[in-house]
Chains A and B, each alone.
Chain A
Amino acid sequence: MAQQYKLVTCTINGKEVSTMVDVRASLTDMLRNDYRLTSVKKGCEVGECGACNVIIDGEAFNSCIYLAVWAEGKNIRTLESLISPEGELSDIQQAFIDETAIQCGFCTPGFIMTAVEILESGKHYSDDELRKLLSGHLCRCTGYENIFKAVKKTMLRRLGKLDDPFLKA
């Protein structure tokens, strides 16, 4: 049977784009190969590690188990979208650096994108809630400790809770 292709039009990192994709492709394949968005990492390809996580219409998804054709009409954001055109980092990226939440860096893009979803909710989550919201990502370097600090501190800052003692920890 002849290979099946489909034109997929979607918004990626704020820009509407179209490309013909092999219907067998995962969204990870499309983002990495067709758009060279290599922050989208492959760690397991079965939705267990979270390294390929991206935001689709405001929610976090493991792009490895998301068919590329499903991206039609969707608004997709990857880590590459967070840096400003002037090269300025977003607060959550800066927090990952400041809190030493990055080691090998392979899980970092996925984690930051889940953090983006968490932070955009505008809610004040408890520590347990934050841990649960971040639990779809595996990391072998950090023990999650400093990632937790980076996300929590950014949440507190965005909520204007600048007197929270955690910010001084």
Chain B
Amino acid sequence: MYDMKALYEAGSVEEAVRLRIEHPEAQIIAGGSDVLVQMREGKRAGKELISIYGIDAMRGVSIDENEAIRIGSLTSFSHITRDPIIQKYCNVLGEAVDMVGGPQIRNIGTIGGNTCNGVTSADSASTLHAWEAIVELTGSNGVRRVPIKEFYIKAGQVDIKPDEIQTAIIIPKESYEGTYGHYIKYAMRNAMDIATLGCSVNVRLSADKKTIERARIAYGVAGPVPMRAESAERYAAGKSVSLETVEQFGAEVLNDINPRDSWRASKAFRQHIAVEMAKRCLVCSIKLAGGEI
């Protein structure tokens, strides 16, 4: 039994927006795998909840009119992993969210909830950053689109207005076309864990597969919110596919990331594995893209 003050259930996006306005203090709950846990801990005890879990229109993956991949915010992790569109165009996202918790968590957990929490360790977040995803928010004035990087304000805080809910995550064609990526979740065990560090890399190679046209890399837990490693990306752009490039790409990462010391891991340790993970992810991405290394 949860210590909640009241529960409001939305059957549609419009209803959710109306409930948001009517109950400004209320917390949105999607799959609940974080909100309910926090409520039990006492952190959100006694609060009102707006459940959007029943809005089936917010589930599913599709290709929109601009050929962008559109992921409904309530799509569960397991459905993302199994989705043929994701598997075809952005398989790494499916792989990344397949590392969240365990199977039951992946059946209840949603990509919307995972991003709206604003936590740096979210397994979807680094890949969505590395693929420059767009967050779609729906409010009383209609739809607003925000690049994922701007969506994250600070630890635990994202850009959602009081009358809005997040309705979709969009990956534009320009972002996924010809692009291949790899994600490494560094955790202390192989299931039921949160990331000590998450690293997602993707590349687009030249037609002859000898040159990196574009490399993007993002981390979770390398700072208070998920972050790109921009100097590493700048370095790699236009470089030849070689171990030399991989080596320097890894080294550049340290200019960008800012992990902290905590009981979960020391800064020095996180920095060390961040470099190693960047290199391994890049090599893997290059291979997926057809490059030889």
| Residue contact A70 to B51, C-beta cutoff 8 Å | yes
Interface stretch, picked from B20-28, B100-108, B172-180, B285-293, is B100-108
What residues of chain B lie closer than 8 Å to A134, measured between beta carbons?
Answer: 103
| Residue contact A65 to B6, C-beta cutoff 8 Å | no
What residues of chain B lie closer than 8 Å to A67, measured between beta carbons?
Answer: 2, 7, 29, 32, 36, 51, 53
A residues contacting B by CB (< 8 A) are: 1, 4, 22-26, 29, 45-48, 50, 53, 59-62, 65-67, 69-70, 114, 132-138
User: CA A135 – CA B189 in complex, angstroms?
Assistant: 11
| Residue contact A23 to B7, C-beta cutoff 8 Å | yes
Interface of chain B residues 152 through 197 with chain A (CB within 8 A): 190-192
| Residue contact A114 to B104, C-beta cutoff 8 Å | yes
User: CA A1 – CA B3 in complex, angstroms?
Assistant: 13
12 residue pairs A–B, Cβ–Cβ below 8 Å: A1-B6, A23-B7, A26-B1, A46-B36, A47-B37, A47-B101, A59-B78, A60-B107, A67-B29, A70-B53, A135-B191, A136-B191
CB of B13 to closest CB in A, whole Å: 18
* B247 interfacial contact with A, CB 8 Å: no
Evaluate whether A1 and B108 lie within 8 angstroms (CB atoms) in the complex, with A48-B192, A133-B103 already known: no
User: CA A138 – CA B191 in complex, angstroms?
Assistant: 10
What residues of chain B lie closer than 8 Å to A137, measured between beta carbons?
Answer: 102
| Residue contact A132 to B32, C-beta cutoff 8 Å | no
What residues of chain A lie closer than 8 Å to B36, measured between beta carbons?
Answer: 26, 46, 65, 67
Number of interface residues of B (CB under 8 A): 28
* B233 interfacial contact with A, CB 8 Å: no
* B4 interfacial contact with A, CB 8 Å: yes
Evaluate whether A47 and B51 lie within 8 angstroms (CB atoms) in the complex, with A67-B32, A69-B7, A132-B191 already known: no
Interface membership of chain B positions 85-118, coded 1 if the CB is closer than 8 angstroms to chain A and 0 otherwise: 0000000000000000111110110000000000
| Residue contact A65 to B7, C-beta cutoff 8 Å | no
Interface membership of chain B positions 181-217, coded 1 if the CB is closer than 8 angstroms to chain A and 0 otherwise: 0000000001110000000000000000000000000
| Residue contact A136 to B2, C-beta cutoff 8 Å | no
Q: Which residue of B lies closest to A60 (CB)?
A: B104
* Residue from B1, B9, B78, B190 having most chain A Cβ neighbours under 10 A: B1
